[in-house]
Structure formats: structure tokens, C-alpha cells
Amino acid sequence: MNLNNAEFFACFGTPEQLPENDLPEICFSGRSNVGKSSLINKLLGRKAIARVSSTPGKTTTINFFKAADIYLVDLPGYGYAKVTPKERMRWDSLMNAYFSGRRNIKLCFQLLDARRTLSGDDERMVNFLISRNIPFAVVLTKCDKLNKTELAEKMNYWQALFENTPVFPFSALKGTGKEEILNAIDSYIE
Ligand SMILES: Nc1nc2c(ncn2[C@@H]2O[C@H](COP(=O)(O)OP(=O)(O)OP(=O)(O)O)[C@@H](O)[C@H]2O)c(=O)[nH]1
Ligand SMILES: [Mg+2]
């Protein structure tokens, strides 16, 4: 799949703004700072179509990018400690609206930092996807920060947690895993 002719489509900050959509959508979920926007940039072959920041909580809206008649959807991150109860409620209602709206979500990439272990928030997110019957695959981000042995250990850990789910190691820095992820998108779109 070639997603090189992408354009920014729109961003949505409240449930009412979310448009109904029947084009296939691939969405990206994960804690703040895990690397969602960086992954989207890499897949689209762009440096900064999605905004990347070293401060967590950068993406607070649902951002749609259009490429090859599909949407890539950058979801706002969770698990950011400094969020107010009000912002947390906004996040909840926005995410609920997104996943319960009439749309054609083909696959959700659940991003997890390869170096870490599954957090309570990650587990809640995964269970939410399962409860909504959203097909998902796991992307392990920041793999460039692990050496070969550490990566092999972590792959075992994550693959054991997600037995029947594809798990893709990825590095936005080096591009590792990009082709495999694009192929997965292809297979879920068809
Ligand atoms: N070394 C390394 N750094 C990465 C990688 N992916 C992302 N980063 C860095 O991690 C930080 C967060 O990346 P983002 O892509 O903004 O993360 P996000 O998940 O979109 O964060 P929010 O928008 O806050 O939810 C940035 O400083 C990135 O440069 C990676 O594969 N390797
Ligand atoms: Mg982001």
C-alpha cells in the first residue's frame, strides 16, 4: 500500500463535530507520548503532517489524514498524569463517540512502548477495543532504544500477552517495521 499522497483532512475536538464516514478507517491508539503521530508520519512518508512533541498530551483532538481513499486517524493519547478531570471527561466522550459512531473502522493499531510493560490504562483500552469488536493489531514503538537481546525478550513478553494478535516491532527513527505495517493495512482494507 502506498500512502505517499496524504493530506490533512480535519481535526475534531467534540463528539458533535465527528462526521459520519463510510470510507475505510485505520486508527491509532495508545498512551500519550508512545509515538502515534510519529508512526503516522512514517507511514505517510512525511516529516510532520501529524504533530510530534516530546511533551506528552500533544494530540488532544481526533485528527484525520486522507490517503489512497482511506483515513488514518490519530487518536488522542491517554494516561497523561497532568490531565484535569474535565479534560479526562472530554477524552472519554470523544473516544466513545468515535468508536460508537457509524463508521467503517477496519483496524485499530494499539501502540505500546516496546520497553515497558502493559499499564492499567493500556489494558482498559485493549479491553474497550475488544468489547466494541474493533479488530486490532499491536505496534511496539521505540524499538531502536533496545538492543537485539532486549528486543527479543520484549517480543516474547508482548507476544505472550497478545497470543492471537499480530505484534509489529517498529521504530520511527529507523523505519523498522514500516513495510509490515503497510502490508497489514492492505490486508485489512480488502
Ligand atoms: N527513539 C524514538 N523516539 C520516538 C519514536 N517514536 C516517537 N518517538 C519520540 O517520542 C516522542 C512522542 O512522539 P509522538 O509521536 O508525538 O507521540 P504521540 O503518541 O503522538 O503523543 P500524544 O500526541 O501526546 O498522544 C517524540 O519526542 C518522538 O520523537 C521511535 O520510534 N524512536
Ligand atoms: Mg500525537
What is the reported pTM?
A: 0.96
Separation of 90 CA from ligand 2 center, angstroms?
17
Average pLDDT over residues 5-31: 92
List, for residues 171-181, the tens digit of each pLDDT value: 999 999 999 99
Q: Is the pLDDT of residue 54 over 90?
A: no
Q: b vs e for 127-146, b when ≥16 Cβ sit within 10 Å of the residue's Cβ?
A: eebeeeebebbbbbbbbbeb
Separation of 81 CA from ligand 1 center, angstroms?
17
Report residue 12's pLDDT band, with 50, 70 and 90 as the boundaries.
very high
List, for residues 85-114, the tens digit of each pLDDT value: 998 899 999 999 999 888 999 999 999 999
**Does residue 42 have its Cβ closer than 6 Å to ligand 1?**
no
The pLDDT assigned to 161 comes to 97
Q: Residue of the nearest CA to atom 1 in ligand 1?
A: 142
Query: Which helix or strand (DSSP H or E) is residue 140 part of?
Result: strand 136-141
The dotted CATH code for 7-189 is 3.40.50.300
**Does residue 57 have its Cβ closer than 6 Å to ligand 1?**
yes
Q: pLDDT averaged over the chain? A: 93
CB 125 within 8 A of CB 133: no
Q: Is the pLDDT of residue 1 over 90?
A: no
Q: Is the pLDDT of residue 55 over 90?
A: no
Q: Residue of the nearest CA to atom 6 in ligand 1?
A: 35
Q: Residue of the nearest CA to atom 27 in ligand 1?
A: 54
CB 152 within 8 A of CB 123: no
Give the residue, out of 28, 38, 41, 51, with the most ligand 1 atoms within 8 A of its beta carbon, to mutate for a pocket test. Answer: 38
Q: Ligand 2 being an ion, which residues bring their Cβ within 5 A of it?
A: 36-37, 58-59
Separation of 159 CA from ligand 2 center, angstroms?
25
Q: On the CB side of 171, how many CA atoms lie within 13 Å of its CA?
A: 11
Cell 517480543 sits on residue? 155
Separation of 37 CA from ligand 1 center, angstroms?
7
